Amino acid sequence: EYPPPNSLLRPCWLQQIPSAMAPTAGELQGLLDCAAEVRTSMAVKIQCQAVADDFPVPEGGKKVYLIRHGEGFHNVAQKEWRAKPDWDGKTEPYTVNNDPQGKYTDALLTEKGEGQAKDLQSRTATLQ
């Protein structure tokens, strides 16, 4: 039997469409119907817990490290931008409209940010 009972796979068939042909409305609807079923069947539950670096990983578990970059010039610019009395609550300093020269295209670290990265090196060198 295909798919096997209790499988995450669900039968979801669409007619193969040659690339030169545009799909019909019915074919597109079939794809949309299938996508909802696949999305539901592939749902994943994640349980997270903050732990120490040396916390043993339980059987079948994964340890994920979330590390944010150090302070960048764009962070400083954003903080200053948002502190302005006329800030509209929406705009950011590093958009194409507000930064046409692209000063913040590459998020360079400030001296403080470089120090934060250096401080993290010894800690991350021992992670497994």
* pLDDT per residue as tens digits for the range 73-107: 989 999 999 999 999 999 888 887 888 888 888 88
How confident is the model over 5-21, as pLDDT tens digits?
444 444 444 444 454 55
Residue 71 burial (CB count, 10 A): 19
Q: How far is CA 126 from CA 53, 55, 68, 121, in A?
A: 9, 13, 18, 9
pLDDT at 21: 55
Q: Residue 77 corresponds to which amino acid? A: A
